[in-house]
A = this chain, B = another copy of it.
């Protein structure tokens, strides 16, 4: 066996403990179990995962780099609270990147991937029917991540993971109505276009999907309520 026995260099989240912590906290944030602004104490998380603060700190720093956690010097880590300006940037970036991702995904489409996609749609529909809001939110983001994985473009995938995580926080903060089932039909339509290898239609559907999500947000001027809150607290 002269082949490289190296253990999957492209497996960033393997069995190491820091990744488990990172994924646990990420999942909690994505499922809206941890609300923006929540303090993430190192001891607290360390106790939960039975790990030392060294590992917790490493995980939190990664999450900070991904933009879903803010680390304030000498104060600790908090779940990020994206501003409306952040929200606009996130969706602008997604509108730019995701059509290219579906384009590449269609190039790389295969029966195995279509199966995964179909399976995901089923899961998503089931979660919605059963009214499981947490699962719906998580699966809704995972659809986009799945398409990015299909594309085989690791950089786009990495970028999109960040954008999806932040989108989840944004939707939680700024959604107008309680419309958790906003995009399941869109996802099915996009998947159908991918299956038919219709790049133009898939890209257009993705774009309108993103536009609709953003349109349902209430993005007032850049930090209005935050400033008001600061004034109340400070004065």
Binding site for B on A (CB under 8 A): 2, 4, 9, 16, 58, 61-62, 65, 70, 72-73, 86, 89-90, 92-93, 96-97, 100, 153-156, 159, 163, 230-231, 234-235
Contact = CB atoms under 8 A, between A and B. Distances in A.
A230 B72 CA distance: 44
Looking at A73, A159, A234, A235, the one whose CB has the most chain B CB atoms below 10 A away is A159
A62 B231 CA distance: 35
Contacts of A231: 2
Given A58-B61, A89-B155, A97-B97, 13 more contacts: A2-B235, A4-B230, A9-B70, A16-B73, A58-B58, A62-B65, A65-B65, A86-B154, A90-B155, A93-B153, A96-B96, A96-B97, A96-B100
Contacts of A156: 89, 93
A93 B16 contact: no
Nearest to A100: B96
A11 B163 CA distance: 21
A90 B96 CA distance: 16
Contacts of A97: 96-97
Contacts of A2: 231, 234-235
A234 to B, nearest CB: 6
- A-B pairs, 4 with minimum CB distance: A89-B155, A93-B155, A65-B65, A96-B100
